[in-house]
Chain A
């Protein structure tokens, strides 16, 4: 049985922990609001962009010389997985669920004899992947967190991807991130960036068009595609980062909330134990005094 002094120190330390988790929860809650707004406002743009690209891809399908950014290199050998996570931990299963998804994807691909390479956006992804795939990780970047930094990072990654595609360093590029649904629900998501996933012909979201007319381009096709496609990559990466940002704060908030509650329960339990022990000592002393008096 622990002594009274031990119990007192434990209670004090759990209380200190509780203060920290409580503070982290409140910080996460404050950050969440802004991150959530940013993620939700970026959504329509990214979704429309995806639609436009998908429709474009449909029209370009089967044509020779179609831009690699839409149709890929036409092979399916080298895969690049972009794993976006957070830089920091203590946010429940947020990082590990994204990494788990990416790891399963990678293992499945490798079992089929394909080459797999990783690019980590966010320190935590690298930390968990390095044990298994050390040699396959091309690049790791820390996230800044602020809006401007996210934007620059998305841009840099976009440029890097274009260069890699030009030199045919990969055939298929897949993005892993966590979609923000609500504070308690973040869904790890896989999005194939290159080649673009073509919608099924009978998909309702693709509006029917008379006779599958070919697009008219202004000023001309090359110029538009040259501008539109790289931008699409940037927008999709940025969107993944923003969704992740909101998810991270949401996950941290609920994780810290349950940690605070746990600490509270523990303090209650320890206090009870402490009081019992104190009572037992008093009773013991009384018995000693009484039996001493009786013996006289």
Chain B
């Protein structure tokens, strides 16, 4: 069994990450899950949170993502994030902006389902802000 798989993280602005990695922890909307090689094909939505990338035993990287999808297959994982930023570039101002956007989403929501989802996003963002 191969110990690595190909991982790609893209946001509408650019391709942020593309390399072979050992494990990625994805903040799925139903809870975090780790993707390792030979994962069953899965398609999941994401909540705002940290994407934890284990590149090798000694090297890892954390990237903040908000909204989007993770598409896992046995040989690869593609994360399509609406917004993504490496952890070290993340600061309060950017988070504030994100929270503002999330609030607007809640206000704009037309039906209960979308409003609930937007509200969840907002709550997650607040948690991250507190942790920072």
Residues on A lying within 8 angstroms of B by beta carbon are 41-42, 44-45, 48-49, 51-52, 55-56, 207, 209-210, 213-219, 223-224, 227-228, 235, 238
Contacts and interface: CB of A to CB of B under 8 A. Distances in A.
B88 interface: no
B110 to A, nearest CB: 11
B85 interface: no
B44 interface: yes
Contacts, number: 73
B2 interface: no
Interface string B70-83: 01011110101000
A224 B42 contact: no
B41 interface: yes
Given A216-B42, A217-B42, A218-B45, A52 B12 contact: no
A282 B126 CA distance: 88
A217 B44 contact: yes
Given A48-B80, A52-B69, A52-B71, A42 B45 contact: no
A223 B41 contact: no
A228 B10 CA distance: 15
Contacts of A55: 71, 73
With a 10 A CB-CB cut-off, give which of B11, B28, B29, B41 has the most chain A CB atoms: B41
A266 to B, nearest CB: 45
A209 B8 CA distance: 18
A44 B71 CA distance: 15
B80 A219 contact: no
B80 A224 contact: no
B14 to A, nearest CB: 4
Nearest to A207: B75
* Of listed A44, A207, A235, residue having the most chain B CB within 10 A: A44
A55 B41 CA distance: 11
A42 B73 CA distance: 23
Contact of B43 (A41, A49, A56, A238): A56
Interface string B1-41: 00000001011111100000000000011100100000011
Interface of B: 8, 10-15, 28-30, 33, 40-45, 69, 71, 73-76, 78, 80
10 contacts: A41-B15, A45-B15, A214-B41, A215-B41, A216-B42, A218-B44, A218-B45, A219-B29, A219-B44, A227-B45
Given A216-B42, A235-B12, A52 B78 contact: yes
Contacts of B28: 218
A34 to B, nearest CB: 13
B111 to A, nearest CB: 11
A219 B10 contact: no
B112 to A, nearest CB: 13
Contacts of A214: 41
Most chain A CB atoms below 10 A, which of B44, B73, B74:
B73
Given A45-B11, A207-B73, A218 B29 contact: yes
A55 to B, nearest CB: 8
A243 to B, nearest CB: 14
A72 to B, nearest CB: 21
Nearest to B79: A48
B40 A213 contact: yes
Contacts of A224: 43-45, 69
Given A45-B80, A209-B74, A235-B12, A216 B69 contact: no
A127 B44 CA distance: 44
B45 A44 contact: no
Contacts of B75: 207
